[in-house]
């Protein structure tokens, strides 16, 4: 039976914009295209001014959520490639916010394909989330105006993408590249040791041939030359050179405006200070870049290619620079293999044939429990070039290279003594021994045949495991199969060496036959 209800008057005006959802949280999306833009006037407009604008519209300050993880990220990237936009998209899909605000539509997207723009529009429409800018409120789910708002939003995003593609990349970037290819500075951080001559004309009115080119800045250039000298003093060892610089310098001085001549530009982006002195110096990891940068011998590089030779005045002598370059760079100035490459080899392995000491007897059989988090850690048997002797080394991978060590010619005799003492203390059943001797003398072949059959069976098992290894792709199954193969090989060797009437020790009980601290561990 149908049920009926009283007709309700239609109070909703399809042409009137719905009120702002001030009762639900609002997100403010902040984005800058590059790190150099962070902190400029646009940052203030997108953060401080936008929050104040939302508070004036009726939102409580605690209801405004700032999403600022996309500082220095291009708007051409997808939603997934931007952590801030990914978080905003998740909040929209989970209906955690009622609106999202930004300084302009180009803060959201500069997508030429409009794919990411349409994904964002659809999510806001389905979840009834408004998009606010200082000049427009986009309501993609509006009954009559929603389609118009979608079109306006797409046009604004397309206009921003076109501006980036045709004006920025098509004109400004090409102009910058034109200057860079001719050896001129275009605003990027300078190589330490140089300033840029910005004078278009000289005092006599003639054109400046060094306009926008590097000019030596002696307070930094002197430090750069000392770095190359230190590298040569340490025989091309970058680690020792970097350690000396971190501890003793020389360090880059603090630059004040009066140190830079009028008409010249100093723009350095040094970010590392010595942890010991707190003064400016290159990080150990970046020292290699300093010592192989051809800008210090007067050449100009654009996109990893030398585009201008002898472009400006060098600050490092050529022979000193080539000494460092040939010890650090595997390629020459053209990217080909460097025929003069002579890397420093600090440690050279001595051939085993020339070592005067025999290899340790118990290599691979000594273990230690000194690390509680790694019980039964195997000790490595290594050769010490300094003392010219073998030693057992206890180390932790990823931490200290050597926790402690002991020389092999000290430890091996002790283990020999303990092993012989244990063997001498071992008693045999005389009755079984005499019975075994009688079986051997009487030519009893039954036990021998049994061992031969066991050996053949183990060899067949090895063949089966080898055949299975060729078809396995799972790493865990492969590891287990290899372990089983090793077990079969060891068992075959034990069977082959077993006397006819002997008794094999129980598997996994080798610690019952060896002194404490020797053997053990997984096999």
Q: Domain spanning 26-167: which superfamily?
A: Resolvase, N-terminal catalytic domain (3.40.50.1390)
> Collapsing DSSP states into helix, strand and coil, what is residue 129?
coil
**How far apart are the C-alpha atoms of 515 and 523, rounded to whole Å?**
18
Fold category of 194-328 in CATH: Hect, E3 ligase catalytic domain fold (3.90.1750)
pLDDT tens across the length of the chain (523 residues): 567 777 655 555 555 667 889 999 999 998 876 544 444 445 555 666 788 889 888 999 899 999 888 877 877 888 999 899 999 999 999 999 999 999 888 888 877 788 999 999 999 999 999 999 888 899 999 988 899 999 999 988 888 877 776 666 666 667 777 888 888 988 888 999 999 999 999 988 899 999 999 999 999 999 999 999 999 999 888 888 999 999 999 999 999 999 999 999 998 888 889 989 999 999 888 899 999 999 999 999 988 899 999 999 999 999 999 999 999 999 999 999 999 998 876 556 667 777 888 888 888 888 888 888 778 888 888 888 778 889 988 877 654 567 888 898 888 898 888 888 887 777 767 787 777 777 766 665 666 677 777 777 777 776 776 666 666 566 666 666 666 666 666 666 665 655 554 444 444 433 343 444 444 433 3
CA angle 414/416/419 to nearest 5° reads 110
Question: Strands 389-394, 380-384: parallel, antiparallel or unpaired by DSSP?
Answer: antiparallel
pTM tops 0.85: no
> Collapsing DSSP states into helix, strand and coil, what is residue 9?
coil
> Residue 145 CB: number of other CB atoms within 10 A?
17
**How far apart are the C-alpha atoms of 469 and 479, rounded to whole Å?**
9
Domain positions in the chain = 26-167, 194-328, 359-423, 425-512
b/e 448-473 (16+ beta carbons within 10 angstroms → b): beebeebbeebeebbeebeeeeeeee
């Amino acid at each position: 039976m149908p049920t009926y209800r009283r007709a309700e008057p239609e109070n909703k005006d399809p042409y009137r914009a719905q009120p702002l959802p001030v009762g639900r949280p609002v997100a403010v999306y902040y984005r800058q295209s590059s790190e150099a833009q962070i902190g400029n006037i646009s940052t203030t407009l997108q953060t401080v001014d936008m929050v104040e604008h939302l508070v004036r519209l009726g939102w409580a300050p605690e209801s405004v959520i700032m999403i600022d993880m996309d500082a220095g990220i291009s708007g051409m990237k997808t939603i997934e490639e931007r952590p801030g936009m990914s978080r905003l998209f998740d909040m929209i899909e989970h209906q955690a916010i009622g609106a999202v605000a930004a300084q302009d539509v180009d803060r959201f997207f500069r997508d030429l394909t409009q794919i990411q723009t349409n994904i964002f529009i659809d999510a806001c429409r389905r979840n009834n989330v408004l998009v606010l800018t200082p000049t427009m409120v986009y309501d993609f789910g509006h009954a009559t105006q929603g389609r118009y708002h979608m079109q306006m939003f797409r046009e604004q995003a397309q206009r921003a993408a076109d501006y980036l593609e045709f004006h920025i990349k098509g004109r400004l970037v090409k102009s910058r590249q034109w200057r860079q290819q001719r050896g001129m500075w275009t605003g990027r951080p300078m190589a330490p040791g140089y300033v840029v001559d910005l004078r278009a004309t000289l005092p006599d009115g003639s054109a400046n041939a060094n306009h926008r080119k590097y000019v030596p800045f002696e307070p930094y250039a002197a430090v750069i030359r000392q770095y190359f000298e230190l590298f040569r003093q340490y025989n091309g060892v970058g680690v020792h050179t970097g350690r000396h610089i971190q501890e003793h310098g020389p360090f880059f001085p603090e630059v004040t405006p009066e140190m830079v001549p009028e008409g010249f530009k100093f723009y350095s982006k040094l970010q590392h200070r010595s942890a010991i002195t707190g003064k400016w110096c290159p990080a150990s990891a970046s020292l290699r870049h300093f010592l192989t940068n051809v800008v210090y011998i007067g050449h100009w590089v654009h996109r990893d290619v030398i585009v201008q030779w002898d472009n400006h005045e060098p600050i490092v002598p050529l022979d000193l620079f080539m000494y460092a370059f040939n010890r650090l760079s595997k390629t020459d100035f053209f990217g080909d293999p460097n025929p003069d490459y002579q890397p420093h080899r600090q440690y050279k392995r001595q051939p085993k044939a020339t070592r005067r000491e025999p290899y340790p007897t118990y290599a691979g059989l000594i273990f230690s429990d000194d690390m509680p988090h790694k019980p039964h850690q195997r000790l490595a048997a290594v050769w010490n070039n300094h003392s010219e002797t073998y030693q057992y080394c206890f180390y932790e991978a990823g931490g200290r290279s050597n926790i402690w060590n002991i020389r092999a010619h000290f430890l091996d005799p002790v283990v020999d003594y303990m092993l012989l003492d244990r063997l001498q203390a071992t008693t045999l059943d005389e009755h079984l021994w005499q019975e075994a001797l009688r079986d051997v003398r009487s030519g009893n072949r039954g036990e021998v045949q049994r061992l031969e059959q066991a050996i053949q069976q183990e060899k067949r098992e090895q063949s089966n495991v080898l055949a299975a290894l060729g078809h396995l792709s799972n790493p865990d199954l492969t590891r287990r199969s290899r372990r089983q193969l090793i077990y079969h090989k060891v068992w075959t060797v034990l069977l082959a060496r077993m006397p006819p009437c002997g008794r094999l020790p129980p598997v996994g009980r080798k610690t019952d036959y060896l002194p404490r601290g020797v053997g053990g561990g997984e096999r």
